Amino acid sequence: MVAAVCTIVAAALLMIGPLLTWAEVSADPVIFAGALNEDVKVVMPAIEDSSSDFTWLEADQGGGAAVFAGLVVLVLGVVVAVRATRAGGIATAMIGAGCIWLAVANVPAARDIIAEAVDGVVGWAYAAHVDPARLTPAFAVGRGPSITAVVVGGGLAILGGILTLVAVEREEAAGPWVPWTHLKDDDTASSAGRG
């Protein structure tokens, strides 16, 4: 039962994580204005328009795969709640490890989001006869909770898979329960006395 609960919680985090903020792009008005040789007050509207946050799904960096993995882990969690199997435990742990890898591998992908933010103010750069690449240092990316949620979900999926394997091992070690072979000691003694 613990394995099933752990797996279902993991599934919830894997499905919710990509819907949370993945990255938040913000611009430094002083650097931005300096690159364009403009007054800070003049460039503020452009900065406000280009500063935004993205969910992992919006960033299109594998967030959809994490949601799909969450759905699969949810199904595995329901299966484990009914009957723990070795294959289910291994599959859950492997999917969890895959989700952690996916989340960590996409951490450096902020460059694309910065490029998109710069594209939003490219008109300002051309008007000032400035190479848009000079605007890039003005932008910074802050991380949201999305990656953390998916990493924790992946870790819980691994734990759920391990607990499932442990439950299967215990069940197999106990063997099938046959009623007439599990008599109490006093019942055994009394039946021996009658004989």
Instruction: Report domain extents, the chain.
Output: 2-194
Q: Which two tokens stand for residue 25?
A: 């792009």
Beta bridge partners of 27: 139
Look up residue 145 and give its amino acid. P
**R_g of the chain, CA atoms, integer Å:** 28
- Cα separation, 131 vs 118, in Å, equals 11
pTM value is 0.72
pLDDT tens digits for range 1-60:
788 899 999 999 999 998 988 888 887 888 878 877 778 887 777 777 667 777 877 766
pLDDT tens digits for range 138-150:
777 788 898 899 9
Beta bridge partners of 55: 21
Residue 175 burial (10 A CB sphere; 0-12, 13-18, 19+): exposed
Nearest to 54 by CA among 98, 120, 8: 120
Helix (H) or strand (E) holding 19: none
